[in-house]
Amino acid sequence: MLVKQILSSKAVDGVLTLQSDAQVKDAAAIMSDRRIGTIVISDDDGATPTGILSERDIVREIGRQGPECLGKTVADLMTRDPVTCTPADSSDAVLSRMTEGRFRHLPVLEEGRMIGLISIGDVVKARLAELSMEKDALEGMIMGH
């Protein structure tokens, strides 16, 4: 399965972004309200990702500095130059990158422009659906349908 197929099956279009000068406490509030684990940081209205901020980034910094870090900008905590993928990448390749890099989200770029965000949950869900269809097809072949 390709990333473009996974993106087309997602209920939400677009990517939630914040500018790098936003405060960490605002990013944390948005993540909490929307029940999401990451926000892409972009200073050009979402065209290109300059960074990515995850719950882990925030928790790690709270552990180091305490709650004072919530007043910092997201640029202070974000992972710069995030790993990305393209719509033509396979789900296996994306899953491998996520596993090796120990992260759960990848911005999707097409011709250098961000068109979506894919999570490890999206990839696993798509892979499970694919396996279910293969199972049904094999059962149909065995039963002579």
Of 75-84, 102-111, 122-131, the range with the lowest mean pLDDT is 122-131
What is the spatial order of strands in the sheet that 38-41 belongs to? 17-18, 38-41, 51-54, 79-80
In this prediction, residue 145 has a pLDDT band, given cuts at 50, 70 and 90, of low
Over the stretch 28-39, which tens digit does the pLDDT of each residue have?
999 999 999 999
Residues whose CB falls within 8 Å of the CB of residue 18, separated by 6 or more in sequence, listed in order: 26, 27, 30, 39, 40, 41, 42, 53, 74
pTM of the model: 0.84
Q: What is the mean pLDDT of residues 116-132?
A: 88
Total domain count for the chain? 1
Residue pLDDT, tens place only, 66-80: 999 999 999 999 999
The answer to whether 74 and 16 have CB atoms below 8 angstroms apart is no
Range of the domain at 91: 3-143
CATH number at residue 52: 3.10.580.10
Cβ atoms 41, 21 nearer than 8 A? no
Model pLDDT for residues 6-62, shown as the tens digit of each residue:
998 887 767 889 999 999 999 999 999 999 999 999 998 888 999 999 999 999 999
Mean pLDDT of 96-102: 93
Q: Which of 128, 105, 95 is nearest to 49 (CA)?
A: 105
Instruction: Report residue 103: phi and psi, to 5°.
Output: -135, 165
Give the number of residues written for the chain.
Answer: 145
133 pLDDT exceeds 80? Answer: no
Percent of all residues in the chain with a pLDDT value above 70, rounded to a whole number: 99
- 15 vs 117, residue with greater confidence: 117
